[in-house]
Structure 1
Amino acid sequence: MGKAEDFARLRPLLFSIAYRILGSVGEAEDAVQEAWLRYEASTTQPASTKSFLCAVVTRISIDVLRSARMRREEYVGPWFPEPLLADPYEDPARAAELADSVSTAALLLLERLSPLERAVFVLREVFDFGFPEVASAVGRSEDACRQLAVRARRHMNAGRPRFEADRRARDELAHRFFQALREGDVLGLQQLLAADVSMVGDGGGKAPQLARAIRGADKVARLLGTVFPALAGIGLTTEPHDINGQPGAIVRDWDGKVVQTLALDVLDGRIQSIRLVLNPQKLGHVGPVADPWEVSRVFRESRRAQP
């Protein structure tokens, strides 16, 4: 098997590692491409192509994350990872675990770790790499990696997100939620939301966004039940789609361009949080992106025109 075939076989795994370290689809794709260039240029065949490529993409991702952390500290408003529509790495035996590890909530928790801790946690806890492989990938001793793993696990366990274990029940709840959303059924929405539900938007200063988090079933239901039918009135559509392994949707404008994504965290038969990604710079991989300011202008004008 040639280099190109080897790389193509491992590409889903490489992307999945890079995305969990970086929280960015574009940066993860760039890291994978850089790993390919380094592999293609190498003159020796590694003993294990998988170990070599995973180590390369991990080190690239750590370097990128270190430079990205300062940008995130200066980010306008809440920062969310770029929405992932589908994880290319599949392992049927661990599908639920892998989906939870790529959830928005889990990725936000990973943001609390140092780049090295994050990389070690992803390789060891998510992808079950042995410590010799982890040590080789991050350029540290096995003992140092064990210590990094302990610290990372402690941080993650302290705030580890929980999700509805029954996928069918979770998806049924999401179906009812989007049906109530389309109908503007405020009471129906209230019954599906946890009492302390929160709704937060990431616009990054590049799109109109919520001035602050909206909390409480009554406030969130009233806002959603008012705004989404009005958005439908100007031609926007809400297309249910898994976002980061959890129920969600893509909102498109009258030309089918992406306005935002919406992701739900579901637990104990209720929606616990709703996260909106509105920053157009984070949506390009989903499809052609709408002008959020134009959508906002048309929406405001339609509201003013109502009797």
Structure 2
Amino acid sequence: MTRTEEFEELRPLLFAVAYRMLGSVSEAEDALQEAWLRWQAAPTRPNSTKAYLSAVVTRICVDVLRSARVRREEYAGPWFPEPLLADPYEDPERSAELSDSLSMAALLLLERLTPLERAVFVLREVFGFGFPDIASAVGRSQAACRQLAVRARRHMDAGLPRFEAGRKEREELAGRFFDAFREGDVDALRELLAADVHMAGDGGGKAPQLANAVVGAEHVARVLAEFAPQIGTVGVVVEPRQVNGRPGALFRDRDGRIVSVMALDVLDGRVRTIRSVINPDKLGHLGAVADAWALRREAERARRLATGRTG
């Protein structure tokens, strides 16, 4: 097998590792490109290509995380991962575990770990690498890696819900949620939301969004019910999809371009968190991106005309 064939065979796994570490499709692809260049330049073949390339990608990602920390601290508004509609690394026997580590909630918790803790957690807890390979990848002793794994696991276990809804239950509830959203039905939405539901958007200062997070079933239901007819007047449609292994939707303009992506967290039969990614820089990998500012201006003009006619 040639080096190219070996790399392409491992690409889905390498991307899955890089994306979970970085929370960015574009940065993960850049990490893989750099790993490919290093693989091409390596003077000899390693005993395990999988271990070698996973270590290279991990080191690149750790460096990226260290340099990105200041940028993310200075980010305008909430920072959410770039949405992923499908994980290219498919392992049917571990699909549920892999899906859990892909969720927006899990990726945001990983953001709170140090780069080394994050690397060790992803390699060990998600992909089942042995500590000898992990130690080689991060340049620490096996004992140190075990300590990093314990700290990371403790933090993740404390932050994620212990009992989450199954996929069928999540999808059924999400279907009802998006039906109620399209209809602007406040009462139906309120019934589907957790009392302490939290809704926020990531526009990065580059797209219109809510000024602040919205909290509480009553407030969120009313905001959603008011928002639905506004986007309807400018031809935006809601396309339910799996987003990061959880229920969500793409919002497309009348020409099919991406306006935003919404992801839902479901717990105890209710929608607990609603996250929207609106920053156009985070949507380009999904296809052509709409001009959200132009859509907002169009919606405001339509609202003013309607108010004038009825006033």
Give the match's secondary structure for 1:211.
coil
Conserved 8 A contact 1:105-1:161: no
Conserved 8 A contact 1:164-1:266: yes
* Distance change (3 Å), C-alpha of 1:162 and 1:266: farther
- What residue is the counterpart of 2:305 in the other structure? 305
- Paired amino acid for 2:268: D
- What residue is the counterpart of 1:141 in the other structure? 141
- What residue is the counterpart of 2:40 in the other structure? 40
- What residue is the counterpart of 1:201 in the other structure? 201
* 1:27 matches 2:27: yes
* 1:251 matches 2:251: yes
Conserved 8 A contact 2:76-2:205: yes
- What residue is the counterpart of 2:81 in the other structure? 81
Q: Aligned pair count?
A: 307
In 2, the alpha carbon distance for the partners of 1:180 and 1:78 equals: 26
Structure 1 segments unaligned to the other structure (5+ residues) = none
Q: Deviation string for 1:13-62 (max 9, x for gaps)?
A: 00000001101000001101111111112121110000000000000011
**1:99-178 mapped onto 2 (5 Å cutoff):** 99-162=99-162, 164-178=164-178
Shift of 1:77: 0.7
Conserved 8 A contact 2:165-2:266: no
Give the match's secondary structure for 2:238.
strand
| TM-score normalized by the length of structure 2 | 0.96
Q: Deviation string for 1:222-258 (max 9, x for gaps)?
A: 1111211221121001111111110000101122111
- What residue is the counterpart of 1:90 in the other structure? 90
* 1:228 matches 2:228: yes
Q: Deviation string for 1:185-222 (max 9, x for gaps)?
A: 11111111111111001111111111111111111111
In 2, the alpha carbon distance for the partners of 1:46 and 1:279 equals: 41
- Paired amino acid for 1:38: R
Deviates more, 1:153-162 or 1:86-95: 153-162
Conserved 8 A contact 1:163-1:265: no
Shift of 1:163: 6.2
Q: Deviation string for 1:125-166 (max 9, x for gaps)?
A: 111111001101111111111111111112112212456342
Give the match's secondary structure for 1:9.
helix
In 2, the alpha carbon distance for the partners of 1:60 and 1:222 equals: 45
In 1, the alpha carbon distance for the partners of 2:163 and 2:241 equals: 17
In 2, the alpha carbon distance for the partners of 1:169 and 1:113 equals: 31
Deviates more, 1:259-268 or 1:178-187: 178-187
- Paired amino acid for 2:256: G
* Distance change (3 Å), C-alpha of 1:161 and 1:284: farther
* 1:2 matches 2:11: no
Conserved 8 A contact 1:163-1:266: no
- What residue is the counterpart of 1:289 in the other structure? 289
Structure 2 segments unaligned to the other structure (5+ residues) = none
* Distance change (3 Å), C-alpha of 1:180 and 1:186: same
Conserved 8 A contact 2:165-2:269: no
In 2, the alpha carbon distance for the partners of 1:32 and 1:15 equals: 7
- What residue is the counterpart of 1:218 in the other structure? 218
- What residue is the counterpart of 1:58 in the other structure? 58
| TM-score normalized by the length of structure 1 | 0.98
Conserved 8 A contact 1:199-1:274: yes
RMSD: 1.1
Once the two structures are aligned, what percentage of the paired residues are identical? 67
